[in-house]
Amino acid sequence: MRAELRRIVAVEAQRRRSGRLPRVVHSLGTGESFPVLPRDDGFVDVASGIEVRAEEGRILLPQGAVAFALDGDVGFAGYDPETRERFTGRGAAGASVTVYDERGDFFQYAMLDWEEA
């Protein structure tokens, strides 16, 4: 799964679960921090320049849509048609989100500096 898509998925999961958008996403694996710029109809992942919008069941990116759905109280799942990879995740109601790829690798992100979505 592409690194920028993992961040975008984590931010969107957080936004959908909590109604709040982080202004900074911090990768707990690499120690890197990535700014998020709020927009009226979504957000921008500043590091990649990707503008993100959402609608029911999908995350909309300039290059296409990624399937995305909340699952239970803390889970989510989706599919990236560009790489043909499925992903799952947990969290998104508190301060962190974990994204899992098909191989079982996981990526943890802390969500910082909130704004109401």
Residues 38-87 pLDDT 10s? 998 899 999 999 999 999 999 999 999 999 999 988 999 999 999 999 99
Tell which residue, 8, 13, 114, has the closest CA to residue 61. Answer: 8
Sorted by sequence, the CB contacts under 8 Å of residue 56 that are 6+ apart come out as none
Q: Averaged over 100-105, what is the pLDDT?
A: 94
The reported pLDDT for the residue numbered 61 is: 97
First-to-final CA distance of the chain: 26
Sorted by sequence, the CB contacts under 8 Å of residue 50 that are 6+ apart come out as 4, 8, 44, 61, 62
Q: Helix (H, G, I), strand (E, B), or coil: what is residue 8?
A: helix
Is the predicted pLDDT of residue 93 greater than 70, yes or no? no
Of residues 114 and 1, more confidence is placed in: 1
The reported pLDDT for the residue numbered 47 is: 96
The reported pLDDT for the residue numbered 113 is: 85
- Global pTM reads 0.93
Compute the distance between CA of residue 60 and CA of residue 64 in angstroms, rounded to an integer: 6
